[in-house]
Amino acid sequence: MKGRKPVLSISKSQVTHGNRAIAPDIRTIKFATQRFGESPYPSIKKRMIQTGLEQSHPALPTAETAEMNTILIIALLIIAFFVSLHLWTRKLTADGQKRVPQLGVVTPVSGGSIHFVERGDPSKQTIVLIHGLTGQLQHFTYALVDMLVDDYHVIAVDRPGCGYSTRDTSDLGQLPEQARMIQELLDSKGISDAVLVGHSLGGAIALAMALDYPEKTKALALLAPLTQKLPSTPQVFKPLEIRTEWLRSLIGNTLAVPLAAKTAPHTLGIVFAPEPAPADFLDRAGGALGLRPSAFITGAQDVAGIDASLETQMARYKELTVPGGILYGAQDAILSPEAQGEPMARFGLPLERIEGAGHMILITKPGACAAFIRRIAKAIPAQPEAV
């Protein structure tokens, strides 16, 4: 009828607009569903549910979903941070090995290998040089080796795990184990009367060799040696106080090397105080080799090894029969000459001091160190030749 509004009539069997049947659309089906309580087109209704058309708006995220997304983003950022640090560490490691290449020969020993440099005439008195914590044999090749090589057979070693030497397990950081590995190298070369020169931690290892192998040790010339248990680890080495092996590895391969690279000038200033660190320390003295994961991990193992074995060694000092002496920088900021040097006088190792010098006398005062080593070596009477 003219003027009459179209009437929408819906049944479960059809949908019509006026008298004309029309194809159902989504709005029509929704209306029919609301009217009759179910869709007059079940198959279409089912398809709507399957394809998600039933909901006119997507569901808003819940608070739990938002929290999980936040946690996931934070986790991804942390992973990305550590991956970037690891890649930076690998670059610094490669740069360090390029700047400080291997100088000598690597010889296998039980529990690892020893890298060493050998100079001079093997028929002359052998002097063995052992470096300190987080160091390498370049501390001696910096200047001291050249001052001794004309008159002595000189061997400078990388301690087990340091420089280009290796060690298989963390317990080999204990003093008797490092002493054994170095002595095994000397035995393989037929050396049985060495004058041992140990700096800092290297001094403690030289003492361990003299205690365990006195018949193979001719004398001790100790430079700023560690001899007594410390009240606490020196502040500059505090980051090495990590007892858990997996944590050492994680930090060593991520945080430690980039941090060491950034803080190197400050660290060297403390270690060398009151003297200035040489500008070429990272190259000529091998300092760049300290910018590697292995250097951090070995240093942490060494700190733990000192704690585990030094007190036992101190109790054995009364057994010392090897002569020698101790030389300290009077203003050593790492180890106290009074606390570390003076107590050893009663065991046959008198203390000498260099005024104005600090801990790194083997680099800053090589002439005085060479003269001290010569005095020790010459003071020992020659062994009579076997008839």
Question: What CA–CA distance (Å, rounded) separates 352 from 342?
Answer: 9
Q: Two tokens at 130?
A: 């052992």
Q: How far apart are the first and last CA of the chain?
A: 144
pLDDT in tens, 176-212: 999 999 999 999 999 999 999 999 999 999 999 999 9
Residues 233, 248: Cα–Cα separation, whole Å: 17
Domains and CATH numbers, the chain: 8-51 (no CATH), 88-379 (3.40.50.1820)
pLDDT of residue 140: 98
* Nearest alpha carbon to residue 271 among 285, 257, 256: 285
Mean pLDDT of the 228-253 span: 92
Phi, psi of 155 (to 5 degrees): -125, 120
pLDDT of residue 386: 39
Residues 6+ apart with CB under 8 A from 146: none
pLDDT band at 28 (very low <50, low <70, confident <90, very high): low
The pLDDT of residue 210 is 98
Amino acid found at 283: D
The per-residue pLDDT of the chain, averaged, comes to: 86
Phi, psi of 221 (to 5 degrees): -120, 95
Parallel/antiparallel/unpaired status of strands 105-109 and 112-119: antiparallel
Look at residue 60 in the predicted model and tell me its pLDDT. Answer: 57
More confident residue, 96 or 312: 312
- pLDDT, tens digit (0-9, with 9 covering 90-100), for 301-326: 999 999 999 999 999 999 999 999 99
Environment class of 255 (CB within 10 Å of its CB; exposed 0-12, middle 13-18, buried 19+): middle
Average pLDDT over residues 254-273: 90
The whole-model pTM stands at 0.78
Give CA–CA dist 233/239, Å, rounded.
10
pLDDT at 47 (0 to 100): 53
- CA 191, CA 203: separation in Å to the nearest integer? 19
Quick one: pLDDT at residue 74? 84
Secondary structure (DSSP) of 83-95? HHHHHHHHHHHHH
What pLDDT does residue 54 have? Answer: 47
Is pLDDT above 60 for 77? yes
The answer to whether residue 260 scores a pLDDT higher than 50 is yes
Burial of 314 (0-12, 13-18, 19+ CB in 10 A): middle
Asked whether the predicted pLDDT for residue 225 surpasses 50, the reply is yes
Q: What is the mean pLDDT of residues 101-110?
A: 96
Whether pLDDT at 249 is above 80: yes
